[in-house]
Amino acid sequence: MTTICFVGAGSAEFTRQLLRDLLSYPDLGDLNLVMHDNDPRRLVLAEQLAQIAVAHHGSHAQVRATSDRRAALRGADFVINTVSIGGHQATLTDFDVPERFGVRQTIGDTLGVGGVFRGLRTFPFLHDLARDVTEVCPQAWLLNYTNPMAMNIGYLTATFPALAPAPPNPGPPPTTLPSGTSTTPKLALGQLYGDGFTVFVVHGSGFVPLTRVRVELIGHGVAPFRPTVDHMGTFNYAIDQGHAFFTGPIPVGRYHILVTGVRGRRATATFQVVPQQPSPPGGPSPSASGRPPASAGAQLTGRGSSVQGA
């Protein structure tokens, strides 16, 4: 039986939608649904919603409700966080305070000043929840369902890295490759134009499947992230402004990429960035948006070659 713990189950709309989804598919087998909330009235509502959903779907799922978080977590396989810290009044503050300083937001729970406010008041709760999960049900997956999504996940990753499950071990590289897989390493650049703000996408093929490759921009260093080659021997990698190689727009110049894989497979490609071209009369001004128009500027050679293959 799969045990799923809803933390903040009193967030009725989120809980109702998740219950409908979970009970609509048999993939997880029989379910043990644990409802937790620190508001007794909302906890009763959450338990009733769960019972109604189970009956409606004709499920054999069990439902349990408790206001004790650690008791709710005990034995959980999945923990779903739907907690909203501060409620409606805090959300109003997220909009009102920035507006007094001239910052108006359409949505203030994910990005911008409002999102930062929401994140700062949510982090202490996330810290306590993550601590309890690591102590009570360390094997469980903690799934975040509340905003600000990226900030919450970033905080948890930085403070409780053990919560992130280890990626599955793909095993040794295959000795035989799928039909049509090239064994000659090559690089291709997809951009036909660009400037210092362009995202230059590198497509590699002919590398050993299920391994990682080393990306080097000659004269600028080695990328700290190593792309993973898929089962067909291909991968994609992007170089742009603010990338590991640059702190701002890519300077004008000619650049050479060297990708090195296992079994001696290597390939190179070259691209070139030239100065931004002036806007045509009546065209958009570079200063209008704070950056050059996308169509202005660089020319890309798109030249790739195989250096060595095994």
What pLDDT does residue 182 have? 64
Same domain, 31 and 121: yes
Strands 2-7 and 221-222: unpaired
* CA–CA dist 272, 280 (Å, integer): 23
The upper half-sphere exposure of residue 275, i.e. CA atoms within 13 Å in the direction of its Cβ, equals 3
One domain, residues 157 and 199: no
- Domain check: are 217 and 123 in the same one? no
Tell me what percent of the residues of the chain surpass a pLDDT of 70: 83
Verify that 159 and 190 share a domain, yes or no: no
193 shares its domain with 158: no
Residues 118-176 pLDDT 10s: 999 999 999 999 999 999 999 999 999 999 999 999 999 899 988 866 655 656 655 55
Of 296 and 115, the one with more pLDDT: 115
Do 229 and 271 lie in a common domain? yes
Distance of alpha carbon 249 from alpha carbon 75, whole angstroms:
50
Instruction: Give the pLDDT confidence score for residue 255 in this predicted structure.
Output: 93
Average predicted confidence (pLDDT) for the chain: 84
Domain that holds residue 269: 186-308
Q: Are 157 and 11 in the same domain?
A: yes
CATH code of 9's domain = 3.40.50.720
pLDDT tens-digit series, residues 217-241: 999 999 988 999 998 899 999 988 8
Residue 51 lies in a domain: yes
CATH of the domain at 303: 2.60.40
The pLDDT of residue 172: 60
Region of 253 on the Ramachandran plot (φ > 0 left; ψ -120 to 50 alpha; else beta): left
Please name the residue ranges forming H helices in 79-203: 87-100, 112-136, 149-159
Q: Which residues contact residue 30 at a Cβ distance below 8 angstroms, ignoring those fewer than 6 apart?
A: 1, 2, 60, 61, 62
Does one domain contain both 47 and 159? yes
CB 138 within 8 A of CB 144: no
The sign of the dihedral angle between the CA atoms of 68, 69, 75, 76 is positive
Average confidence (pLDDT) over 19-37 = 92
Cα 7 to its chain centre, rounded Å, is 22
Q: Looking at residue 175, what is its pLDDT? A: 54
Q: What is the pLDDT of residue 298?
A: 32
pLDDT digits 0-9 by tens, 244-294: 788 889 999 999 999 999 988 999 999 999 887 765 565 554 434 344 444
Quote the pLDDT of residue 25. 87
- Does residue 90 carry a pLDDT above 90? yes
**Domain total for the chain?**
2
Statement to judge: residues 143 and 254 lie in one domain? no
Of 163, 195, 210, the one marking the end of a domain is 163
- Residue 214 has what pLDDT? 95
Per-residue confidence band for 97, with pLDDT thresholds at 50, 70 and 90: very high
